[in-house]
Amino acid sequence: RKTGHEPTLWLDKACIDQTNIDQSLTCLPIFLAGCQKLLVVAGPTFCRRLWCLLEIFTFLRMGGSVERIEVLFIADPLKDP
């Protein structure tokens, strides 16, 4: 609403070719550098998956800031699955 433009949403699971992950991963820093905000939808295993943490690290290294990361918990983060 602020800019008058439609929002753009990039979902890594849907946008990264899961059958050719190596090639798609070379573009991950570019994808994340273009993000104004990083939305993390976290379940109970999120912090145990290195891949998820690597995406946050890459976002921050590509110029993102902690203030531009929003975390949405979809399960109780203190419960073990």
The SS3 assignment for 77 reads: coil
Tokens 């999120």 identify what position? 46
Tens-digit pLDDT profile for residues 30-60: 888 888 899 998 888 888 888 888 889 999 9
Segment 15-34 shows an average pLDDT of 82
Within 13 Å, how many C-alpha atoms sit on residue 67's CB side? 1
DSSP state of 52: H
Contact 77, 42 (CB under 8 A): yes
Q: Residue 70: pLDDT above 90?
A: yes
Output the CA torsion sign for 10, 14, 17, 22.
positive
DSSP state of 27: T
